[in-house]
Amino acid sequence: MINDSSERGPSTASKREFYFDGMEVGYLDQLEFPCTAGTYLYTPYRGFGHYKMQTALAGGQNPRCSYRVGDSIVWFTVRKGLERGTLEFFEFQTCPIE
């Protein structure tokens, strides 16, 4: 089941962007950042961050991605989702920004 409380196409100020290797991958298509394992909808950016993450996935890797919430960075691992425009998120870890 896909976790979708989406509001497609959020404004720039409310985008829930996430990153791989310090580069923007895309934004999540739900109202809040996820914090539990599951399959999530996302809208990719056409850029190097998304390309590198997809290349890692195609190579059999499970990339570590991140997003920022307040004074913390949340790290998580991704796997390719079963449907187009989805990713599986798991292994969440929250770290304070120093």
Q: What local confidence, expressed as pLDDT, does residue 72 receive?
A: 93
Q: Read off the pTM.
A: 0.82
β-pairing, 2-3 vs 38-44, is parallel
* Nearest-10 Cα torsion for 47, 63, 38, 30: -20
Question: What average pLDDT does the chain have?
Answer: 87
Domain borders along the chain are 2-7+15-96
What are 45-84's pLDDT values in tens digits?
Answer: 999 999 999 999 999 999 999 999 989 999 999 999 999 9
CA–CA dist 22, 92 (Å, integer): 17
